Structure 1
Amino acid sequence: MSTYTLRFPGSGTIIEEAILKGREDCRGEDILRVLRVRGIEVSDAVRERVGSCDDLEVLGTWLDRAVTVGSAGELFGEPDGA
């Protein structure tokens, strides 16, 4: 029995890279927006760390945490700042 792997036409190309980069950028912006709307101060170091992350799973974890943290440092599992 053969196995079929579904791939979209742009898989493994610069198109896919651009799509993934767009997801990273949007998720990072969402994290910062949630913190801002909640009135949590975001340092330049936090902005840089979020903006430079390219792991969608990590960004997803940070986005989940952004909803409940008391400080931006808690986003990364650090109690007092980044």
Structure 2
Amino acid sequence: MLGIHQRMAELWTIQKKRPLTDEEQKEMIVCLEANAKRAWKLATLENLSLVASMTNDTAWLHEICRQIETLEKTCS
């Protein structure tokens, strides 16, 4: 799990019991932005892999798959 995901889970749990402080709210926004950026990057790579597959560009497909694997490793 990425540190941002762990912190986001902590903040979410805290906010169920009490309102987040201003600093905690800022942290939550940073976590949400980082999560969204990573999600969009992964979605883009997955779409590009589909295009590479449909055009039979195996070299490009392998490069995209390598990038996907690298990105996914950062979450394990």
Whether the TM-score (by the shorter chain) exceeds 0.5 is no
What TM-score do the two structures reach when normalised by structure 2? 0.44
The structure where helix makes up a greater share of residues is 2
Greater CA radius of gyration, 1 or 2? 2
What TM-score do the two structures reach when normalised by structure 1? 0.41
Q: Which has the higher contact order (CA 8 A, sep 6+)?
A: 2
